[in-house]
Amino acid sequence: MIQRDIIAAIATAPGRGGIGVVRISGRDLPRFAATLTARPLEPRHAMLAAFRDAAGQPIDEGIVLFFPAPHSYTGEDVIELQGHGGPIVMRQLLQRCVELGARLARPGEFTERAYLNGRMDLAQAEGVADLIEASTVLAARAALRSLQGNFSELIQELASKIVALRTLLEATLDFPEEEVEFLTAGRAAEQLAAIREQLERVMASTRQGSLLREGIQVVLIGEPNVGKSSLLNRLAGEDVAIVTEVPGTTRDAVREQIDIDGLPVHIIDTAGLRETDDAVERIGISRTWAQIEKADLALVVSDATGLDDAGSQAIVARLPAGLARIRVVNKIDLAARSSGREGRDSEDWVWVSAKTGAGLDQLKQAIWGRAGWHPAGEGLFTARARHVAALQATQGHLAHAVAQTRHLELYAEELRLAHEALCAITGEYTPDDLLGEIFSKFCIGK
């Protein structure tokens, strides 16, 4: 499905660098490049060339690489121009490509063409974006596995088993007088049960992969001066928040992304919650409650020297009912108490010292537990919310199929719908508007 038009984009990050890359994809690119470089191209050989403007004057000098179709990233002819990484040089070079008939590529259009030309499936294409955006080493490794097709192989294996069961069912429908014998001989019930069990395992891995990609939103809340900012600094491993003994120092949300043993945690330190006449502090407190509404998890921090104070209890009582929470009792170094973790009334309680680091490992374990994260994440792949939704839809159709074993037409229809929901992950059944939404979130040049 080679496109007729030629696209071009700067493929390196904005700003200055040692090199900059302009990527071009389309058809008949050797003639395009001959005008630009004034020399013939040799496939898959790095060639030194001068990049020339319309008057034949050099814009820059660098390396040109030519990858002929279909063995290229997009499945089309692809050229990469590697020049000096100055913004002016890159813009001049891109403008020259436009003068020669290329158009500016849309975000993600190179990867979209790779998908449309069969170079990768949709889950692999999303793995490209996830690899670029990975915020932890474990997330990068998982994204690479998705790009290499690990997730797709699991989906394709499930899909082939559903197809095999559908084939048996279609044969049964062709011989209705022998339907019981067909289904019994083909062990249809056992096949469906095995498919559902395998789907459960894939869903468990996918939920972990989704956590690895998205991370969790954690909000630090509590009264002023209980050590929220100190705790953020300790978790982040650096001084990202101002710490003083003056109550109300933090007046606006301080956001930091940290890596807790592979799990991306988007943690927000908020203004201390209390009654105040300070207009600025009141704005900060109002924003704190807005952040709480968006959070996946709240770390409710209190002071070990005043554990039973009414202020902390009032904060807990006001939290949204569905918000997961961990009660963090800080400053145990001042209360002469040891660190630890225990469950109280379906809540995790963790005793820590942000000053000494005592109890931080127990706090991390509590965060993992509330997030549903399992630290032994080797072998994981990244996954997206749409993947989880598609697997849930597949699970629902298979459950309905179990209930329709006496109505084979309905049974067959539920299997067909399950198959379509599953194949939406790899893009076999994907509407064009969804493709547009997915690739619009990619960076330009990829």
First-to-last alpha carbon distance for the chain, in angstroms, is 18
C-alpha distance from residue 159 to each of 355, 423, 428 (Å): 53, 7, 11
User: Which pLDDT score is estimated for 431?
Assistant: 65
| CA-based radius of gyration for the chain | 28
Of 427 and 23, more confident: 23
pLDDT at 268: 82
Q: Which of 31-45, 190-204, 292-306, 390-404 has the lowest mean pLDDT?
A: 292-306
- pLDDT, residue 239, reads 56
pLDDT(439) > 60: yes
Q: Quick check: 244 pLDDT over 50?
A: no
The distance of Cα 379 from the centroid of its chain, to the nearest Å, equals 16
pLDDT tier at 307, thresholds 50, 70, 90: low
Q: For residue 84, is pLDDT > 90?
A: yes
What pLDDT sits at residue 263? 84
Cα(112)–Cα(365) distance, integer angstroms: 40
Structure tokens at 99: 């003068």
pLDDT for the residue 243: 42
Of 316, 295, 320, 298, the closest CA to residue 307 belongs to 316
Q: Which residues contact 5 (CB under 8 A, 6 or more apart)?
A: 26, 102, 103
C-alpha torsion 193→199→205→209, nearest 10? -170
The residue ranges of every structural domain in the chain are 7-120, 127-211+384-427, 215-371
Superfamily of domain 7-120: Probable tRNA modification gtpase trme; domain 1 (3.30.1360.120)
pLDDT at residue 422 in the model: 93
Closest to 80 in 3D by CA, of 128, 143, 36, 16: 36
Q: Of 96, 102, 112, 8, which Cα lies nearest the Cα of 52? A: 96
Determine the topology of domain 127-211+384-427 in CATH. Answer: Four Helix Bundle (Hemerythrin (Met), subunit A) (1.20.120)
pLDDT of 137 above 50: yes
Q: Quickly list H helices, 175-302.
A: 179-185, 188-214, 228-236, 279-294
Helix (H, G, I), strand (E, B) or coil at 57: coil
DSSP code per residue over 81-116: EEEEE-HHHHHHHHHHHHHTT-EEPPTTHHHHHHHH
pLDDT exceeds 90 at position 168: no
Higher-pLDDT residue of 425, 229 = 425
Q: Is the model more confident about 370 or about 61?
A: 61
Is 200's pLDDT higher than 60?
Answer: yes
Task: List the Cα angle 54/57/58 in 5-degree steps.
Answer: 110
Residue-wise pLDDT tens digits, 319-350:
777 888 898 999 998 888 888 888 877 788 99
The band of 275, judged by pLDDT with boundaries at 50, 70 and 90, is low
Minimal CA–CA distance to 192: which of 439, 404, 341, 15? 404
Residue 13 and residue 445: Cα distance in Å, rounded? 9
Assign 116 a pLDDT band (cuts: 50, 70, 90). very high
Q: What is the pLDDT of residue 178?
A: 52
What b/e readout covers 354-384, taking b as 16+ CB neighbours within 10 angstroms? bbeebbbebbbbbbbebbebeeebeebbbbb
User: In a 10 Å sphere around its CB, with 0-12 CB exposed, 13-18 middle and 19+ buried, how is residue 200 labelled?
Assistant: exposed
Handedness of CA 395, 399, 405, 407 (dihedral sign): negative
Q: Is the pLDDT of residue 297 over 70?
A: yes
The pair of three-digit structure tokens given for residue 191, joined into one six-digit string? 């096949």
Q: Is the pLDDT of residue 271 over 70?
A: no
Mean pLDDT of 175-203: 75
Between strands 7-10 and 17-26, the pairing is antiparallel
Supply 6's token pair.
């030629």
- Average pLDDT value over all residues in the chain: 83
- pLDDT of 241 reads 44
Distance set, CA 172 to CA 28, 196, 324, 404, 439 (Å): 52, 21, 49, 14, 42
- Taken as a whole, the chain contains a residue count of 446
User: What is the model's pTM?
Assistant: 0.78
Number of other residues whose CB lies within 10 A of the CB of residue 94: 22
The 10s digit of each residue's pLDDT in 383-433 is 888 999 999 999 999 999 888 877 878 888 999 999 999 999 998 866 666
What is the per-residue pLDDT for 284? 62
Measure the CA angle with vertex 255, ends 250 and 256; round to 5°.
Answer: 120
Mean pLDDT calculated for residue range 36-64: 90
Q: Are 272 and 226 spatial neighbours (Cβ–Cβ below 8 Å)?
A: yes
pLDDT at 165: 87
What is the predicted pLDDT for the residue at 249?
A: 44
Nearest to 23 by CA among 86, 108, 88: 108
Lowest-pLDDT range of 66-70, 80-84, 99-103, 183-187: 183-187
pLDDT band with cut points at 50, 70 and 90 for residue 250:
very low
User: Do the Cβ atoms of 98 and 90 come closer than 8 Å?
Assistant: no
Mean pLDDT of 202-213: 88
- Positive or negative torsion for Cα 406, 408, 412, 414: negative
In this prediction, what percent of the chain has a pLDDT beyond 70? 84
CATH architecture label of 215-371: 3-Layer(aba) Sandwich (3.40)
Closest to 90 measured CA to CA, from 21, 8, 3, 179: 21
